[in-house]
């Protein structure tokens, strides 16, 4: 079982995510800089807040320069919430700040005609089958966000809030969750375990329905 590296860059409370990893009995380390990362295993990029502030913090800690190279070497990377948005090419929230461009697309504001930020539970549906994730069927996951990627060919799950948006995105061994799996009950934990198992962190979760 490989150790998960949890990037700590002052862009959100990591306590709930750490609690989820502990409940799944998955070993992890907090890493404020790349030299603190585990030698192998998945890297998790969480995040809440503003796109440009998060990008700046990752740059200051050396992660922004290092992450594309680690991915190119085959290291799995999982972004969660703002972490998914940072994996994209950029965001309308910060037009002058580039993303990591590890997945395609520009992050756009949700809407129209709905309350933003989107805070609460939304149903997700499968956009295309992915080897690491089950068909969610009628699963509901917990979201807190104002921006999201529009669905692309790399979108695994979609959800709706004013318009369809990417709930889970994947390209190669890079994956991103727009919802908070650690706050989405048993279904969220199962999906988090399934994603990390696909990335080599643990054995696959039992094949049970998400809902």
81, 130, 154, 169: the catalytic one is 81
Q: Rounded to an integer, what distance in angstroms lies between the CA atom of residue 20 and that of residue 195?
A: 13
Catalytic residue among 118, 161, 182, 210: 182
DSSP 206: P
Residue among 15, 57, 49, 2 nearest 32 (CA): 57
Question: Hunting for tokens 């910060």 — which residue is that?
Answer: 94
Catalytic, 210? Answer: no
Peptide bond into 120 cis (omega under 30): no
Q: Which long-range contacts (CB under 8 A, 24 or more apart) does 87-90 make?
A: 87/45, 87/169, 87/174, 87/176, 88/149
CA distances (Å), 140 to each of 8, 179, 197, in order? 28, 10, 21
Catalytic-residue membership of 130:
no
Residue of 118, 130, 161, 180 marked active site: 180
Is 145 part of the annotated catalytic residue set?
no
Active site residues: 81, 180, 182
């Amino acid at each position: 079982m490989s150790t998960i590296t949890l990037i700590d860059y002052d862009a959100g409370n990591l306590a709930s995510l750490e609690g989820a990893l502990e409940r799944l009995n998955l070993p992890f380390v907090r890493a404020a800089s790349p030299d603190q990362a585990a030698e192998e295993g998945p890297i998790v990029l969480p995040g809440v807040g503003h796109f440009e502030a998060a990008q700046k913090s990752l740059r200051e800690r050396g992660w922004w320069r290092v992450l594309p190279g680690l991915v190119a070497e085959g290291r799995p990377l999982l972004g969660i919430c703002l972490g998914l948005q940072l994996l994209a090419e950029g965001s309308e929230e910060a037009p002058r700040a580039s993303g990591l461009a590890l997945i395609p697309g520009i992050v756009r504001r949700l809407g129209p005609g709905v309350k933003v930020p989107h805070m609460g539970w939304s149903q997700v549906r499968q956009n295309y089958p992915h080897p690491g994730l089950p068909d969610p069927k009628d699963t509901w996951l917990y979201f807190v966000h104002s921006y999201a990627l529009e669905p692309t060919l790399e979108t695994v799950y979609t959800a709706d809030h004013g318009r369809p948006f990417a709930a889970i995105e994947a390209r190669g061994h890079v994956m991103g969750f727009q919802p908070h799996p650690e706050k989405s009950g048993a279904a969220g934990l199962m999906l988090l375990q399934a994603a990390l198992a696909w990335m080599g962190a643990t054995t696959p979760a039992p094949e049970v329905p998400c809902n």
